[in-house]
Amino acid sequence: MPPKKKFSRDQIIEAAFEIARTEGIDGVTIRKVADRLNSSIAPVYVNFKDVRELKKEIVNKIVELSYRLLKEEDSGSPFYDIGAASLRFAKEYPVLFQDFITKQNEYLETYNQEMDSELVEHMKRDPDLNGFQDRELSMILLKMRIFTVGLSTMLANDLLPGNLDEERAMEILYSTGEDLLVSARRKK
């Protein structure tokens, strides 16, 4: 008879996510998750065949979190919302941000493609981006991402100058986005 589940799959994923939030995805082990749940490793193995399967679920949770943060931004400018959500993710989840941005790992292979597609669709709702084709929107997104990653990295690591708070960082982000759009329109 198989062992009874002491914890739900979601409870195990949540415990693993909390470990990843402070130690990174690579810091998650079955033993650490069990310890966090005050349990043996058996309930974890009842729900997941191995740590790799559990880590994939952590990445799925992070992807859902990314989408939620994007949807919570509602400035009326989807392009601005993308940058704002990125800065917020970096500030609130700096270890996960570093995992996603500064480390190449097997768990993110499809994430970037899916997220890029979702973000381009989000950008299409921005009236300031009317007339741009998907290929052009993808290039605008890449250019803005390069800037945003730098700004977000500085925010996540408390590297912004003392006089540059989060509000001012958002102003710079918005201004850079406007400059990028002006340039893209001129090239068109």
62-109 residue pLDDT tens: 989 988 998 898 887 877 888 889 889 988 999 998 888 777 767 666
Q: Which of 52-66, 73-87, 127-141 has the lowest mean pLDDT?
A: 73-87
Asked if pLDDT for residue 1 goes beyond 60, the answer is no
Q: Which two tokens stand for residue 16?
A: 């693993």
pLDDT at residue 111, rounded to an integer: 67
pLDDT of residue 176: 92
Model pLDDT, residue 28: 97
Burial 88-126 (b: 16+ CB within 10 A, else e): bbbeebbebbbbbbeeeeebbeebeeebeeebbebbeeb
Q: What's the per-residue H, E or C state across 59-118?
A: HHHHHHHHHHHHHHCCCCCHHHHHHHHHHHHHHHCHHHHHHHHHCCCHHHHHHHHHHHHH
Mean pLDDT of the chain: 87
Predicted model pTM: 0.80
Most confident of 27-41, 88-102, 138-152, 161-175: 27-41
**Does CATH number 3.40.47.10 belong to domain 1-71?**
no
Domains in the chain: boundaries: 1-71, 73-188
Per-residue model confidence (pLDDT) at position 103 = 75
pLDDT band at 4 (very low <50, low <70, confident <90, very high): low
% of the chain residues with pLDDT over 70 = 93
More confident residue, 25 or 188: 25
